[in-house]
Amino acid sequence: MSSIDKSGTFRLGDRSVKRLGYGAMQLAGPGVFGPPKDRAQAVAVLRAAIAAGVNHIDTSDFYGPHVTNEIIREALYPYPADLTIVTKVGGKRGADGSWLKADAPDELRSAIHDNLHNLGLDALDVVNMRFMFDPHHPAEGPVEHQIEALAELQQQGLIRHIGVSHVTSAQIKAARRIVDVVCVQNHYNLAHRDDDALIDELAAEHIAYVPYFPLGGFSPLQSDTLNTVAERLNVTPMQLALAWLLKHSPNILLIPGTSSLAHLEQNLAVTDISLDGATLKELDAIGKA
């Protein structure tokens, strides 16, 4: 068994993916805008991830924009048969790199076709609808028009499965009245635990939960407890934070991102970290402090 196989698997629609995947956001330039400093390195990181057994890549055509999808295609096309590529729509980038909402039905249709073109695909495995009622946290608001637009594209065969991102429990229920929701992608990590109850609800429904910013995002996780436990286990704090997520719930799929081969190797090694009950109790307390 390879190291990544130890993460286990979970169903993502009609696909079985390993629970430790890869997020492509950091393949773009600084601030997820423009080209990377080293495109050859970005290509190498993707190929190394696949060679190590990763079969779940998370991306979006508004990363760059277009940059990450173009690099994924350059690095991996034709794609391995078991590779599941998940993308998201609902946003766009301003000329100054700002993050803007783009969720009108015509904008969603355009985004789907951009993803298809830049990835070189006839159909997208999974599309997450990213809602932006509030830029900082999920906020209530109607989701029906956007989900109906994606459902229409699904009926046309351009999308296989639909997920939702940056959402509340009520919005997930509303979306599920229209389509089968195969995954939820929200901000969640060892210290940011607002979705504890939601993760349990989704696990009971066999729906995947994919935490974005699993390591804190643009502001890496900082915790004396995390640092102390990591030193005791002879791992990095970031490795420990990922290992905790894998242990926390069986429906959690990880998509840590990096543009570094060394960091990729560290991320993929987290499946070898063993956490006993006492250690988990220490780590659980971080998010409840």
* Residues annotated catalytic, as ranges: 63
Question: Residue 92's beta-bridge partner residues?
Answer: 100
According to DSSP, the β-strands at 99-101 and 91-93 are antiparallel
The tokens of 33 are what?
């805008």
**CA–CA dist 108, 19 (Å, integer):** 28
Which among 7, 9, 11 is positioned nearest to 183, based on CA atoms?
11
The tokens of 159 are what?
């999308």
**CA–CA dist 32, 88 (Å, integer):** 15
- Given a contact cutoff of 8 angstroms between Cβ atoms, the answer to whether 53 and 265 are in contact is no
**CA–CA dist 95, 91 (Å, integer):** 13
**CA–CA dist 22, 266 (Å, integer):** 12
State the Cα angle at 40 between 95 and 42, rounded to 5°: 65
Burial class (CB in 10 A: 0-12, 13-18, 19+), 34: middle
